[in-house]
Amino acid sequence: MNAPSSSEQTANGPLGLNRAVVLPGIVVFVFALVVRWLYLTALQETPYFDFLLVDAQWHDQWAWDWARGEWSMGDKAFFRAPLYPFWLSRLYQVFGHDLLAVRIVEMVVGGFTCLLIGGSAYRIAGKAAFWVAGIMAALYGPMIFFGAELLIPNLLLFLLSLWFFLSLGKSSKSQLLAALCLGLAIVARPNALALLPVALFLAHRLSDGARFRWAQVLGIALLPALFVTGLNMKAEGNFVFVASQGGVNFAAGNHDFATGRSVELPGFESIANWGEFLERSKSLAESREGRELTSGEISRHWFGQGLSWLTANPGKAVVLYGKKLYFLFHAHETANNRDLYFQRPGPLKFLLFSGGQFSFPWGVVFPLAVFGLISFWKRDSRIKLLGLWVLLYGFSLLPFFISGRFRMGMVPALILLASLGFLELWKRPHPLKLVIPVLVFLVVNSSFLNARVSNRGQELTKLGALYLEQGNFIEGLKALEEAVTLEPNDVSTNYLLGDAYLDRGRFDLARVHFERLVSQRTNDARVYFSLGVCYLATENFDLATRAFEAAAELQPEDAATWINLGAAREGQGEFAAAVDAYKRGLMINPRAEIGYMRLALLWSSRGLYENAVFTLTEAVQNIQNSYPLRAELTKALIATGDYVLAQEQIDMALHMNPEDPEGLAMQEWLSKELAKRKPGDQ
């Protein structure tokens, strides 16, 4: 291994590198920026740029609140590790809520990560390794993808790469700064805590002529996490190490229905965002414990759930953890939030793909990394530490669940090892040397256990939802209709299509999707309500009545349900039942304008104008600035012959809407009628 000599190490340029690699460093950095810029410009043409999903949406909301001085966590401990939202909030303070500016900064951070990985390779194996590792990192598809997603990996990889690069330095200052970087990484992703043994072994070398003390590295590495834990104690008076999410994530990875690669925890179905996930974890834990719980107690409850399952099902646990281990090292990037392979604009079309018997880039980088680890195992103790990094970080994920995003913390070490493996094959080629990487290639690119699971229908649903949110109705419907052909009974897809058609008055099409949902979600009042609206709009009053009655039974305190039930019963000719439903709705919501209007019109249609006047008088008392209600009250008063009060009402109505032709006509007619009357006449 052609590691740089001690004299080369002292001739330092930027980042403590030999001046001979300054120009290659600039080339690698600029190249990484160009690739990321090409991807970013291509991403701008998709709805994923402006509309964020799940974790990214949570980070954005949390960071923006934080940047404006608002604290969305209240008096609770952190549910998720706070470093990335804090970092994002600082960017928002500088650039405002500008997603492009923030992504450009993230792009630059990603470029520095590539430079640091190259720098570590140089310190281990010299200039050639710098080139290979730097270019490999610049072209590593998942790094490019996550660098534009407002997610943790981009910052995490920078911190881990900087930690390892500084750890390879000889001075005490370098070691202490390295420990601080690892400490910050722990506050970004607590799994980085598993790398403490690697940090301690790296620090256990001669530094400035004296043995470096492990306690210093350990203390500094734990300091950021202890600080955040202190904030949790201050907020809630309860011990929560960094974040309370670990308990429920552990339960999600250890139960009868766990797949090993997603959150499929019973009781967490139909979760739309992280806010709902947090609330559901809290409400379920408290209902089981029978009391209100702190964040720490909630986390411990879920840890207990997972541990109980493990101890009660050792055989199932062994099988499950075997699956997780396979998914951990498999070449396919398991989706979390959205599929990395679904829409890959720009350079990712060539840098990130999975299909057949091959997934890139993990499917190539990992076999090379294994070969590099074996080839250099005895040549340099630091190579063993890179292998330990991969194992410790990877095994820290096994108690939870595996996804491509979560295992990104292993990538810098894998790229460093892969660069060494590549150089070994390049400089000393021999057919027998290919045996190991080829065998590993076949294993990690295999197709056992449905490892390449990819739900195109689900991804189309997410894309369709984003298009609709963007206002692109045509593309949104196109994506959703394709999704529903793949999965006709998918709840989210049918909800989105039903709502989209309902909002645009296409009731027959909306009805199809809500009818599908009824058979799946028999306790969902919203489905029955939406279906009732479809039937009501198409004048199928019998079915509308049944739908609204079902919704009212499930959600009896919803005023809109009762008012629409009144309209359906009115359509059936059930006068008394319609009146009762309208009154029930108005009792729940005394400011429901449409309820008053419908009830008044029903009275008037039966010639009961006094009742209409009574209803509308109550209405304008509760909703004083409603032109339609006062105009309708004017008509009812005219029908009862009370022209004086009628003129008062139309005058007040026209004060709110002075240009309304119908109101002006009534006002003129009333003026003429009142002028004909003798003094003292009503």
Q: If you average pLDDT over residues 372-395, what whole number do you get?
A: 93
Q: Is the pLDDT score of 72 beyond 70?
A: no
Question: Which residues, listed in sequence order, are joined to residue 477 by a DSSP beta bridge?
Answer: none
- What's the confidence (pLDDT) of residue 151? 96
Q: Is the pLDDT score of 428 beyond 60?
A: yes
Question: Which residues, listed in sequence order, are joined to residue 562 by a DSSP beta bridge?
Answer: none
- SS3 call for 290: coil
Distances (CA, A) of 321 to 208, 336, 363, 364: 44, 19, 21, 24
- pTM listed for this prediction: 0.85
Q: Is the pLDDT score of 274 beyond 80?
A: no
* Gap between the Cα atoms of 177 and 269, Å rounded: 44
Q: If you average pLDDT over residues 524-529, what whole number do you get?
A: 92
Contact 644, 617 (CB under 8 A): no
pLDDT digits (tens, 9 = 90+) for 562-592: 999 999 999 999 999 999 999 999 999 999 9
- What's the confidence (pLDDT) of residue 353? 94
- What's the confidence (pLDDT) of residue 212? 58
Q: Is the pLDDT score of 5 beyond 60?
A: no
pLDDT digits (tens, 9 = 90+) for 616-672: 899 889 998 889 988 888 888 889 988 889 888 888 888 888 888 988 898 888 888
- What's the confidence (pLDDT) of residue 184? 98
Please say whether the dihedral angle defined by the alpha carbons of residues 212, 214, 218 and 223, taken in this order, is positive or negative: negative
pLDDT digits (tens, 9 = 90+) for 194-235: 999 999 888 876 454 445 577 888 999 999 999 999 999 998
Q: Is the pLDDT score of 172 beyond 60?
A: yes
Q: What is the mean pLDDT of the chain?
A: 90
- What's the confidence (pLDDT) of residue 527? 93
* Gap between the Cα atoms of 514 and 256, Å rounded: 31
Q: How many helices (H) and strands (E) does the chain have?
A: 33, 4
- What's the confidence (pLDDT) of residue 170? 78
Q: What residue type is 344 in one-letter code?
A: R
pLDDT digits (tens, 9 = 90+) for 292-335: 999 999 999 999 999 999 999 999 999 999 999 999 999 999 99
Q: Which of 505, 454, 453, 509 is nearest to 480 (CA)?
A: 509
- What's the confidence (pLDDT) of residue 679? 56
Q: Is the pLDDT score of 516 beyond 70?
A: yes
Question: What is the secondary structure of 19-67 as a DSSP string?
Answer: GGGHHHHHHHHHHHHHHHHHHHHHHTTSTTTTS--HHHHHHHHHHHHHH
| 8-state DSSP, 18 | B
Q: Is the pLDDT score of 398 beyond 80?
A: yes
Contact 293, 285 (CB under 8 A): yes
Higher per-residue confidence, 96 vs 75: 96
Q: Report residue 574 as tokens.
A: 């059930």
Q: Which of 331, 333, 329, 335 is nearest to 455 (CA)?
A: 335
- SS3 call for 272: coil
pLDDT digits (tens, 9 = 90+) for 432-447: 888 999 999 999 999 8
Q: Which domains does the chain have, with CATH numbers?
A: 6-226 (no CATH), 246-327 (no CATH), 348-447 (no CATH), 602-682 (1.25.40.10)
Q: Report residue 300 as tokens.
A: 């411990």
User: pLDDT-based confidence at 126, cuts 50/70/90?
Assistant: very high
- What's the confidence (pLDDT) of residue 8? 45
47-76 exposure pattern, b = at least 16 Cβ within 10 A, e = fewer: bbbebbbbbbbbbbbbbbbbbeeeeebeeb
Please state the separation of Cα 39 from the chain's center in Å.
21
Q: Is the pLDDT score of 11 beyond 50?
A: no
Percentage of residues in the chain having pLDDT higher than 90? 69
- What's the confidence (pLDDT) of residue 681? 53
Please state the separation of Cα 107 from the chain's center in Å.
20
525-551 exposure pattern, b = at least 16 Cβ within 10 A, e = fewer: bbbbbbbbbbbbbeebbebbbbbbbbb
Q: Is the pLDDT score of 407 beyond 90?
A: yes
Q: Among 45-54, 74-83, 395-404, 670-679, which is the least confidently predicted range?
A: 670-679
Q: Is the pLDDT score of 2 beyond 70?
A: no
Q: Is the pLDDT score of 279 beyond 90?
A: no
- What's the confidence (pLDDT) of residue 438? 94
- What's the confidence (pLDDT) of residue 480? 95
User: pLDDT-based confidence at 238, cuts 50/70/90?
Assistant: confident
Q: If you average pLDDT over residues 408-431, what whole number do you get?
A: 94
Q: Is the pLDDT score of 523 beyond 80?
A: yes
Q: Is the pLDDT score of 7 beyond 70?
A: no
Q: Which long-range contacts (CB under 8 A, 24 or more apart) does 311-316 make?
A: 313/256, 316/256
